[in-house]
Amino acid sequence: QVQLVESGGGVVQPGRSLRLSCAASGFSFSNYVMHWVRQAPGKGLEWVAVVSTDGNNKYYADSVSGRFTISRDNSKNTLSLQMNSLRFDDTAFYYCVRVSYSGTSKMDYWGQGTLVTVSS
Amino acid sequence: DIQMTQSPSSVSASVGDRVTLTCRASQSVGSSLNWYQQKAGKAPILLIYGISTLQTGVPARFSGSGSGTDFTLTITGLQPEDFATYFCQQTYSTPITFGQGTRLEIK
The amino acid sitting at A61 is A
Residues of B with CB under 8 A from a CB of A: 30-32, 34, 36, 42-46, 49-50, 53, 55, 87, 89, 91, 94-101
The alpha-helical segments, DSSP class H, found in chain A are none
Average pLDDT over every residue of A98-115: 96
A113/B94 Cβ within 8 A = no
Size of interface A-B (CB pairs under 8 A): 61
A98 forms bridges with which residues in the sheet?
A34, A109
In this prediction, residue A103 carries a pLDDT of 87
B99/A44 Cβ within 8 A = yes
In this prediction, residue B107 carries a pLDDT of 87
- pLDDT by residue (tens digit) across A62-105? 999 999 999 999 999 999 999 999 999 999 999 999 999 988 99
C-alpha–C-alpha distance, residues B25 and B5, integer Å: 6
In this prediction, residue A83 carries a pLDDT of 98
Mutate to test the interface with A, among B35, B48, B49 (most CBs of A within 10 A): B49
List Cβ neighbours of B88 (8 Å cut-off, separation of 6 or more).
Answer: B4, B6, B23, B33, B34, B35, B36, B71, B73, B98, B99
| Chain A residues with CB-CB distance to B100 below 8 A | 44
Residue A47 forms contact with B (CB below 8 Å): yes
| Chain A residues with CB-CB distance to B32 below 8 A | 104-105
- pLDDT by residue (tens digit) across A38-67? 999 999 999 999 999 999 999 999 999 999
| Chain A residues with CB-CB distance to B46 below 8 A | 106-108
In this prediction, residue A17 carries a pLDDT of 98
Residue B72, Cβ neighbours under 10 Å: how many?
17
| Chain B residues with CB-CB distance to A107 below 8 A | 34, 36, 44, 46, 89
Phi, psi (5° rounding) for residue B77?
80, 65
Q: Which residues of chain B have pLDDT under 50?
A: none
Cβ burial of B86 (10 Å; 0-12, 13-18, 19+) is: buried
C-alpha–C-alpha distance, residues B13 and B16, integer Å: 9
